[in-house]
Amino acid sequence: MDRNMPIEEYLAQGGVLTAPANCPPRYRAELLRLMASFVDSEMAAAAGFAERINDAPSIRGRIAAARIVLEKTAHAERVLGLMAEFGADMARYDAAHPWAARLPRDADLGAARHGGDMRLALFHYPLDGWVDAVVMHLLMGRAVGLQLAEYARASYRPLAEALGEIAPVEARHTELAADGVRSILARGGADAAQAALAYWVPRVGLSFGRGQSDRFARLAGWGLRHRPNAALAADWAAATAAEIRQMGLRWPDPDPDEPLSPLAPRAPTEPSR
């Protein structure tokens, strides 16, 4: 790096940072916010799924669920270690925290943060039994795959490397969920799976955030983000809808009151004449 080059210009040109001491204050704050969101979401996801382990209809299902809980907690710990290098308060994670706490299922949370942690709003909703948990995990797993691919290119190299190694494990979790959905359908659970899709598709869609923002432009300029939320959400909806339909299920229609919502692929429009 040219010592006379402003750090913002260096990052905008694809530069990387490798240690907390190199990070300017605003970059540091956004990086910690990104890491805290990942850690808190992993902790909340693991806690919620742990409560569903004994709902699995088979020993194999219980083993898969237990593995997911263990590995998600380990992923949180790994990124938490990076946060500790910035002086983050580790006692908050060692002390009891209500990671399993949930709000009412009919709460309208949107994409905003709630409560005393940085989990995605999605993880404030309760899981309603095994089918609901497996469907939610498939949908969110596909979203996480896109988000990890985004953050594995982040300009803070230690985080990019950690998430690059975490991504294949999370992908395996998603494949376990896909296997779980197929098993549910084979046992005649199509109606329950369809109900779970109707509930979770809009909530997972909102986990990408809404549209473009000044914050995204800032993060992109620092190399912490690359693709807009809307592009990630559209890719998720198109690919996941195709997978769901291939299983013989219906992808829920988009909410007609939210014309800009990225919750499902739009039907093609008639060409102008």
Evaluate the CA torsion angle 202, 204, 209, 212 in order and state its sign.
negative
- Is 80 exceeded by the pLDDT of residue 194? yes
The mean-pLDDT minimum among 2-16, 30-44, 168-182 falls in 2-16
**Whether pLDDT at 118 is above 60:** yes
Report the alpha-carbon distance of residue 160 to residue 101 in Å, rounded. Answer: 30
3-state secondary structure of 21: helix
Nearest to 223 by CA among 31, 22, 82: 31
152 φ, ψ to 5°?
-70, -5
Q: Any idea which residue has 């309603």 for tokens? A: 128
- Give residue 96's pLDDT: 77
Predicted local distance difference test score (pLDDT) of residue 261 = 40
Residue with tokens 């039907």: 267
pLDDT score, position 215? 85
pLDDT band at 45 (very low <50, low <70, confident <90, very high): very high
Give the mean model confidence (pLDDT) for residues 86-112: 85
Identify the weakest region by mean pLDDT among 78-92, 140-154, 159-173, 189-203.
78-92
Secondary structure tally for the chain: helices H, strands E: 9, 0
Which domains does the chain show, CATH number per domain?
22-99+121-246 (1.20.1260.10)
The pLDDT of residue 269:
33
Exposure letters 65-82 (e unless 16+ CB within 10 A, then b): beebbebbbebbebbbeb
pLDDT at position 212 = 61
Q: Would you say residue 123 has pLDDT above 80?
A: yes
What pTM did the predictor assign?
0.88
Return contacts of 156-160, CB within 8 angstroms, 24+ apart.
156/16, 156/17, 156/18, 156/23, 156/31, 156/224, 157/16, 157/17, 157/18, 158/18, 158/19, 158/82, 158/85, 159/31, 159/34, 159/35, 159/79, 159/82, 160/16
Q: What are phi and psi of 249, to 5 degrees?
A: -105, 165
Instruction: Tell me 4's DSSP state.
Output: T
- pLDDT for 119 equals 94
- Say whether pLDDT at 192 is over 70: yes
Q: Which residue has the tokens 């809009």?
A: 202
- Reply yes or no on whether the pLDDT at 249 is more than 50: yes
For residues 138 and 145, what is the distance between their CA atoms, to the nearest angstrom?
11
Q: Residue 160 — pLDDT band, cuts 50, 70, 90?
A: very high
pLDDT at 41: 96
Supply 126's token pair.
């309760």
- The C-alpha atoms of residue 90 and residue 80 are separated, in whole angstroms, by 8
pLDDT average, residue stretch 135-161: 97
Q: Which residue has the higher pLDDT, 25 or 92?
A: 25
Confidence band (pLDDT; 50, 70, 90) for 2?
Answer: low
pLDDT(268) > 80: no
Radius of gyration of the chain (CA): 19
Residue 3 has what pLDDT? 64
Say if CB 145 and CB 28 are below 8 A apart: no
Residue 198 CB partners (closer than 8 Å, separation 6+) = 252
